[in-house]
Structure 1
Amino acid sequence: MNKLIRLSTVPLSLNILLKGQLSFLNNFFNIIAVSGNGPDLNVVAEREGVLVYSIEMERKISPFKDVVSLVKLYFYFRNERPFIVHSITPKAGLLSMIAAKLAGVPIRMHTFTGLIFPSKTGILQKILIAMDKLLCLCATNIYPEGEGVKKDLMRYNITKKELKVIGNGNINGINKHHFNPELYTSADRIRERKKLGIQNNDFVFIFVGRLVGDKGINEMIQAFKNLSNENDSVKLILVGPFEPHFDPLQQETVQEIKANESIISVGFQEDVRPYFAISDCLVFPSYREGFPNVVMQAGAMGLPSIVTDINGCNEIIIDGKNGIIIPAKSYKAILEAMKKIFNEHDFRNLLKNCAREMIVSRYEQDVVWEALLLEYKKLETNVS
């Protein structure tokens, strides 16, 4: 079997974004997972049954460290001689595509799971665009995770190469058996709510993700503050870590999270399903995404979603069918959508009844994995 190296900048991406996929692919290729070091890399090795290797890569622009990582990747590829190198995050993509080209790797694939530059301006945007153009120049095959990402790559003229979305989009699909509301009984929900001090008749909004500015947290907390002042039966669960050194929240936002008794912050959770199971609606007001797993997971768990009109979100959610689509960066739009979901019982039930089927029918995990395997096999045949 040919050797296939999958890369991400940090091991958390391999652990969370590619869960189960590497094990599946290991039946057809000799898979090696490469990223920076950390406990998540050990989890990947044990759960997926694949070889792992650690090469540190900085998420931020760091010229000296980037060159060191590039050199390490080059010699690693020269030594391992993989047939395919496939990266999924920005810095790992840039460095591995350059290193793989220099090392003579035949197939060099990168999946754009999201684009940073459209939300930036000035010299930083120009630098990020140049980096993505260089990445694409060195890659042999480019895969946007969804149609929105594809349109942005074309609009900014990032590459002239073919841009192919695999399946209906998304990097790993959804495991409908794992994300299934029927796994939780009414007694389970009552017990989980009680643990968090949530009453049975409370209405629960939930956010899952990093607690940073570009996830729309500042606007969401401002909107929820208004809503909770009017209704003491609404709650907001925040599932995810604060990242004060990376796009930190406004100080007043942090203070409101700490002071508002209706906001329950539980930090990073390995298993988010219990929190979806006790919630009524996902709020995901991000500024930019590729193809957010959280929105698919919530839908598979039977939740309607409030999302912003950005890449991925506006493909997963159809406005008025399985959720509400609103403009980004508007706390008023978030507030109006939350009020609508909270107050309009029939409308909420309509969205809820469609939520799971609209996810499972389009993003079943087995279909995504088979589509990716088919792409690998086709490229393997063409190059061989």
Structure 2
Amino acid sequence: MSAATLLRGQMAYFVERGWAVHLACAPGAELSAVAAREGVVVHEIPMCREVSVLRDMRSLCAMLSLIRSIQPDVVNAGTPKAGLIGMISAYLLRVKGRVYVMRGLRLEGAKGIKRAVLAMTERISCSCASVVICVSHSLRSEAVASGVVAERKAHVIGAGSSNGVDCARFTVDTCTSDLVQSMRTELDLPEGTPTVGFVGRLTRDKGAVELLEAFDHLYSEDHSRRLLIVGEVERQDALPSQTMRMLQRHEGIIRVGLVDETAPYYQLMCVLCLPTHREGFPNAPLEAAASGIPTVTTTATGARDAVVDGETGLVVSPGDSEELTVALRLMLENPDRARSMGESARRRVVEEFAQARIWTGLEAIYREVLEA
């Protein structure tokens, strides 16, 4: 996920508050639009997601050069690779405000040498930081228990999330009935079609295997049911061949791929499903909630913070397609209850996850670090 999505609106907020904001990130086609929208200066620094000693050293040198030239008061870095490079650079150059945003723990589920390497990189990032912001309370608990960050250094802003949700953007009022109807016609999704939605990367980690197994069972019970998938398959976490065949051939599955604007698609769903195995704090359930749509997710780290079980959605065990099937069936067969959960979800995000709440909390942390 790019800075265009992760930091949408946040940088503009700080610019309006009088901060001079520079964005350093990997090259991307959308960066000029981000610079114009947010009012920031963009610096392209090539970074690869996986470990590559030579390329990582080049990225580190480029980051050191950039920070030396800008001389910032605060460096905020997130994602494992950018966090590592950003925090090491800021520490070496003695930047006073070094804020590492922990968006998840990739070491969860990893084993052997890979887990050891991932744990080591997280410890380095956290050690170099002045403050570590964990994007959910369950992530903070897991990070502290894993020994990658000291409890005194780890913080969560409010109820969590990295950027909150734009409650005005994700609401039925912003999607005209004509737009929604035209999308229904284009996708062959008539009003009243029992539809499960998925928004995000299709990977094993996101529970794509269980999602398709559960939906296939639901479809066998009622051929009018549909699974609407907004997102693409990620090659780095390849799905089993059987799952790929089902994804490509299943008559009940509708795939729209990557889209610039996800908001209208939530209006086509009865329930969002995110059967993830690990998260930091997932954005899709917040977007669905702002749209008045309940979510079925799992008890995985981060995911369980996004839903109040039985109130704003349902929570099941990760990796359990049978339990997932039961929860989704309950939603589809009880539309009044699903709508009630969606209304509760909307109220919760407005109260706890509005973007201004996250941004003011982040600014308070910046100022506290600088005044220390």
TM-score of Structure 1 vs Structure 2, range by shorter chain: over 0.9
1:1-384, aligned counterparts within 5 Å? 12-27=1-16, 28-160=18-150, 161-244=152-235, 246-382=236-372
Give me the whole-angstrom Cα distance separating, in 1, the residues matched to 2:108 and 2:319.
Answer: 14
The separation in 1 between residues aligned to 2:134 and 2:30, in whole angstroms, is: 25
Segments of 5+ residues of structure 2 without an aligned counterpart are none
* Structure 1 position 356, deviation (Å): 0.7
Q: Say if 2:270 and 2:332, in contact at 8 Å, map to a contact too.
A: no
Shift in Å, 1:179: 0.9
Deviation at 1:185, TM superposition (A): 4.5
Q: Does the aligned pair in 1 maintain the 2:229–2:257 contact within 8 Å?
A: yes
Quick one: distance in 2 between partners of 1:119 and 1:273? 31
Deviation at 1:330, TM superposition (A): 1.3
Instruction: Give the counterpart letter for 2:72 in structure 1.
Output: P
Residue aligned with 1:22, SS: helix
Give me the TM-score of the superposition, normalised by structure 2: 0.96
SS of the counterpart of 1:114?
coil
Deviation digits for residues 2-61 of structure 1 (CA, Å, limit 9, x no counterpart): xxxxxxxxxx52100110110111132110000111112222111111000011111001
Q: Distance in 2 between matches of 1:125 and 1:132?
A: 11
Mean alpha-carbon deviation: is it higher for 99-108 or for 264-273?
Answer: 99-108
SS of match in other structure, 1:318: coil
Equivalent position SS for 2:83: helix
Task: Decide whether the 8 Å contact of 2:130 with 2:369 is kept in 1.
Answer: no
**How big is the shift at 1:200?**
2.1
How far apart are the structure 1 equivalents of 2:367 and 2:128? 21
Q: Percent identity?
A: 29
Of 26-35 and 181-190, the range deviating more from structure 2: 181-190
The answer to whether the 8 A contact 1:317-1:323 is kept is yes
3-state SS of paired residue (1:24): helix
Larger displacement relative to structure 2 (352-361 or 316-325)? 352-361
Matched-pair contact (CA < 8 Å) for 1:316–1:359: no
- What CA distance in whole angstroms lies between the structure 1 residues aligned with 2:168 and 2:107? 36
CA contact (8 A) 1:318 1:324 kept: yes
- 8 Å contact 1:201–1:233 — kept in the other structure? no
Q: Distance in 1 between matches of 2:348 and 2:118?
A: 35
SS at match of 1:108: strand
Query: Where do 5+ consecutive residues of structure 1 fail to align?
Result: 1-11
CA RMSD of aligned residues (A): 1.4
Question: Structure 2: how far apart are the matches of 1:316 and 1:25?
Answer: 26
